[in-house]
Amino acid sequence: MKSASDIARDVQSGTSSAASELDVALAQIRARNGELNIFLYVDEEGAQRTAAALDERIQRGEQIGPLAGVPVALKDNLCQTGIPTTCSSKILEGWRPPYNATVIDRLLVAGAVPVGKTNLDEFAMGSSTENSAFGPTLNPLDTSRVPGGSSGGSAAAVAADMTPLALGSDTGGSIRQPAALCGLVGVKPTYGLVSRYGLIAFASSLDQIGPLTKNVRDAALLLEVIAGHDPLDSTSLPEPAPSLSSHVNDGVAGKRVGLVRELIDGADADVMASVERAADALREAGATIVELSVPEFRLGLSAYYLIAPAEASSNLARFDGVRYGLRVNGDDVTSMMEATRTAGFGEEVKRRIMLGTYALSAGYFDAYYGQALKVRTLTINAFARAYHQADFLLGATTPSVAFAFGAKTSDPMAMYLSDVFTIPSNLAGEPAISVPFGTGDAGLPVGVQLLGPGRSEALLFAGARVLEIADGRS
C-alpha cells in the first residue's frame, strides 16, 4: 500500500486523485471486511462526496493540506456528525452524534478522507477486541490471533492495507499494544497535546487520541495534523501543534537511552531479544545505553485498575436510557435505567463500573482510590528521576506477540497484564511510541517501546525512525 505522504503528494500534483485513492481503499475493505470484521460502519457515500469535493478543488488549482486525499479509519469511540458511533456497545446502538470530534474536523481541514468506524473492545476496555458487542476483529497477519486492543479494528485496518492511516485512543496502552501485535507504529501523545473533544470518555485523566500507521513518517504527519490547542477541551495544552515531520531524521547521536529493567522483565524471550537488539541498533546510531531500574513501574498496573475504573464508573453514568441509544422500558425511571444498563453493557464494562464504584465509595475511598493516586504521583516522580539519567527510555511494548483467540478471556488478570509496560506513560501523562522491531514467535512482529518526557514526541519519532531503518523497513 502507498504511504500517506505519497498519496498526498500524488493527489495534490494530479498524478492521482482522491476518488481513485478512495476506490483502492474501498475495494480492499469490500474484499476483506466480511472475514476480518474490522469496520463496523463504512461511509462509502460520505467518503465519495469528500473525495469528489477535494478533486474539484485541486482542479481549480487550490492547495489542499498535508493529507490531501488520504483515506483514514476512525476508532468507533470518535464522534462523527450523522455517523453511527457505538463504542462497540449495544447501549449506543442507533445513536448518531450531532457533532464532529475535533480530530475529525482537523483531518478534514488537512484534506483527509474518513472512510468509516472501526471495531474496539466495548468502551475501549480490553486488550484483544474480544470484548466488542459486535464480535472480535481478526489479526490480518494471522487470523487465528487477536489484533490486540482496544484499538484492534484501527490497527487491523492499516495492517490489512485498507487505509494507510487510522486513529485510535490510548488509556492504558490501547494504541501501542495493537500496533505491536499488528506490526505498526502507534503513538500515545503527551496528555493534552491532542484534543479529546468528541472522544467518548473512558478515563478522562488518561485518555489520549493518537495515530496508527505503517511507518514513522506517516505517524508524525498525522500527529501534526491532529495536535494543537483546542478551546473545546479544558485539558488541551495551550500551544499550537509541534513540528514533528521535520525532526523524523534527526537521529539519536549523543542521546542517552535508558534501558529499563521493569519494562522488559516478564516478557517472552523473543520480545526480550528484540528489545536488546533495538538497544544495539540505537548504540550503533550513536546513542549511549544506560541500564536503569524503575521499581515504581511495577505498581502501575494496580493503580491503573483503580483509577481507570473509578473514572469510567462516573463517565458511563450518562448511558441511562434517557439520552443516548438503547432504552429498555420499565415500570418507573429507576427500573428503566436498570433494565437498560443490564441489557446494554457487556460483562467487562459491568466489571469496571462495579470496581470503580467500590473504589470510590465512602469508607473505601482512601484505601483504594486515594492510594492509587499516591502511586500515580510516585510514578510521575520516578519518570522524572529516570530523565536525569536518560533522554528517553526503551522497553518492550507488550509481554508477547499476538496471542490466540480465547487465550486470556477466562482470566481478566491475564488480559490486564497485556498492558503492564504501557500503563506507566498514561499515569504520567507522557508520550510513548511503539515501533515494530524484528520478528518473534510464529514469525509475528514484535513491538519495542520508546518513552519520553512530556512534549518529547519529536525525539521519540527520531528514535523510532532509527529503529525502522535498522530493521530494514526504511
When the beta carbons of 312 and 446 are compared against ligand GLN, the nearer one is 312
Which 3 state secondary structure label does DSSP give 287? coil
At a CB cut-off of 8 Å and minimum separation 6, what does 257 contact?
Answer: 279, 282, 287, 288, 289, 290, 390, 391, 392, 393, 394, 463
d(CA 82, CA 46): 10
Shortest distance (Å) from residue 370 CB to ligand GLN: 20
When the beta carbons of 64 and 156 are compared against ligand GLN, the nearer one is 156
Q: In which residue are the cell numbers 493518537 written? A: 210
255 catalytic residue (yes or no): no
Q: Of residues 5, 16, 75, 127, which has the active-site annotation?
A: 75
Q: In which residue are the cell numbers 466489571 written? A: 351
When the beta carbons of 124 and 166 are compared against ligand GLN, the nearer one is 124
d(CA 307, CA 273): 33
Cell numbers describing residue 303? 493503580
Neighbouring C-beta atoms of residue 443, cutoff 10 Å = 9
When the beta carbons of 118 and 127 are compared against ligand GLN, the nearer one is 127
Shortest distance (Å) from residue 336 CB to ligand GLN: 29
89 catalytic residue (yes or no): no
**The Cα angle at residue 159 between residues 155 and 163, in degrees rounded to 5:** 85
Query: Which residues in this chain contact ligand GLN in the complex, by CB under 6 A?
Result: 124-127, 150, 170-174, 202, 308, 419
d(CA 361, CA 251): 50
90 catalytic residue (yes or no): no
Look at residues 206, 286, 92 and name the one whose alpha carbon lies nearest to residue 83.
92
State the first-to-last Cα distance of the chain, in angstroms, to the nearest integer. 14
Cell numbers describing residue 119? 471495531
Cis status of the peptide bond prior to 150, with omega within 30 of 0: yes
d(CA 463, CA 442): 27
Shortest distance (Å) from residue 186 CB to ligand GLN: 11
Q: Of residues 151, 174, 195, 425, which has the active-site annotation?
A: 174
At a CB cut-off of 8 Å and minimum separation 6, what does 280 contact?
Answer: none
Q: In which residue are the cell numbers 494504541 written? A: 175
Which 3 state secondary structure label does DSSP give 181? helix
Q: Of residues 17, 150, 169, 313, which has the active-site annotation?
A: 150
Shortest distance (Å) from residue 322 CB to ligand GLN: 26
When the beta carbons of 111 and 192 are compared against ligand GLN, the nearer one is 192
Shortest distance (Å) from residue 457 CB to ligand GLN: 18
Shortest distance (Å) from residue 150 CB to ligand GLN: 4
Q: Which residues are catalytic?
A: 75, 150, 174
